[in-house]
Structure 1
Amino acid sequence: MSLFPELDGPPSDRLFFGIFPEAAVAETIADQTRDLKGRLDLSGAPLTPERFHVTLHHIGDYAGLPRGIVAQALEAGEAASLAAPFEVSFDKAASFNNRGNNPFVLQGGEGLAELHAFQKALGLSMAHAGLGRQVARQFNPHVTLLYDRVLAPDTPVEPVSWRVSEFVLIHSLLGQTRHIVLGRWALKG
């Protein structure tokens, strides 16, 4: 018998820290996605604007919502909220090779330096809260636009930028395309 019976079985719940663009920026991303889909002859359905986000740390997939891990994540989020707001800028689109279900994503270069620093600081807060094993060791910030069978080449795009003034802890119901915000923190620094 498991010590954590609520975590037995197939995963149904995902926890992650993320940032979401404000609505006007999400609409700009949606417009770019439609344009890129046509130009690159992609057939996948674009994600809806409210689903556009950058995952900072994938905490895990679980069978049920692990209350202890949620409590640790909330503690880590509170500690990381002392950081200052920062700018992000994504200036290219490309596909990740995922053997047929390829994410087509926005990416960036130098415009994401402060995002990298914040992601690392959040990871330190997670480790202090007891979630060190869930800290992402590698970080390739991106915004998923759609999924497609085709692998699209690196494509420069008009930069999409926004000021990150908050981050969230998300409970994602796997297979249901639903995101439930469990914690939201304004950056205070």
Structure 2
Amino acid sequence: MPEQLWLPGLEAPPPPTDGLFFAVYPDRNTAAGIAKFAQQLCADARVRSKPLAANRLHVTLRHLGNFAGGLPDERIEGARRAATTLSIAPFTVEFDALTSFAKKPRPGPAVLVGEDGVQGLHALHDALEAALGELGIEPDARFTPHVTLAYGMPWAERRPVEPVCWNVREFVLVHSLLGRNQHVELARWSLAGKP
């Protein structure tokens, strides 16, 4: 194996320790039902993968970056300012299919997805994207609404499942402690726009 060459004055950047994102969380009862489904999914697949804990199940609306050594205050403040400008009515979300985000045949995340039932999430994402853009935060058009159930799952074709629904009444700014399986809520905003 060839040795890694280092140029003087150029060192590898430190690994990221902190992530920042906007998210939507299911209510407690819905999260418990999703967690139970994820446990059964892992058992049926006969893998060592563990399902995500009920309190970590969420939909990432907009990832705002991973950072080394803490979150930059200006990024948090920009996210807060963008969020306060939104005026969107509460809506219902429905996930009605299970799929894999793995690359066949490798293992990867098993996720819940939807079609028509996730349009409200698209609208919320797009509104956040526009508000962040007004503050000079680079756009990120990649958005596939999903709830990750477990990592390291075998690849599988998309298939319908019993629909999982909940009313989205708020969204949250989250500090993810990377590699420590912990999310810290930084701020929460109610949806209160006119239908």
TM over 0.5: yes
Alignment check: 8 A CA contact 2:45 2:154 kept: no
The runs of 5 or more residues in structure 1 that have no matched partner are 1-7
CA–CA separation in structure 1 for the residues paired with 2:125 and 2:39: 29
RMSD, aligned CA: 1.6
CA–CA separation in structure 1 for the residues paired with 2:31 and 2:140: 25
CA–CA separation in structure 1 for the residues paired with 2:45 and 2:118: 25
The code of the aligned residue for 2:177 comes to: L
Match of 2:177 in 1: 173
- Paired residue total: 179
Match of 1:182, SS state, is: strand
Matching of residue 75 in structure 1 with residue 81 in structure 2: yes
Of 21, 29, 32, the match for 2:37: 32
Match of 1:185 in 2: 189
Q: CA deviation at 1:98?
A: 5.2
Of 13, 25, 41, the match for 1:20: 25
Q: CA deviation at 1:42?
A: 4.1
Q: Which has the higher helix share?
A: 1
Match of 1:44, SS state, is: coil
The runs of 5 or more residues in structure 2 that have no matched partner are 1-12
Of 116, 120, 145, the match for 1:114: 120
Of 57, 65, 81, the match for 1:60: 65
The code of the aligned residue for 2:80 comes to: L
Alignment check: 8 A CA contact 1:97 1:151 kept: yes
Alignment check: 8 A CA contact 1:170 1:179 kept: yes
Match of 2:124, SS state, is: helix
The code of the aligned residue for 2:89 comes to: A
Deviates more, 1:121-130 or 1:67-76: 121-130
The code of the aligned residue for 1:118 comes to: L
CA–CA separation in structure 2 for the residues paired with 1:38 and 1:179: 26
Alignment check: 8 A CA contact 1:40 1:152 kept: no
CA–CA separation in structure 2 for the residues paired with 1:91 and 1:122: 25
Alignment check: 8 A CA contact 2:85 2:131 kept: yes
Q: CA deviation at 1:83?
A: 1.0
CA–CA separation in structure 1 for the residues paired with 2:47 and 2:115: 24
The two structures have a TM-score, normalised by structure 2, of 0.86
The two structures have a TM-score, normalised by structure 1, of 0.89
CA–CA separation in structure 1 for the residues paired with 2:109 and 2:29: 23
CA–CA separation in structure 1 for the residues paired with 2:98 and 2:47: 13
- State the identity as a percent: 42
Match of 1:29, SS state, is: helix
Match of 1:140 in 2: 144
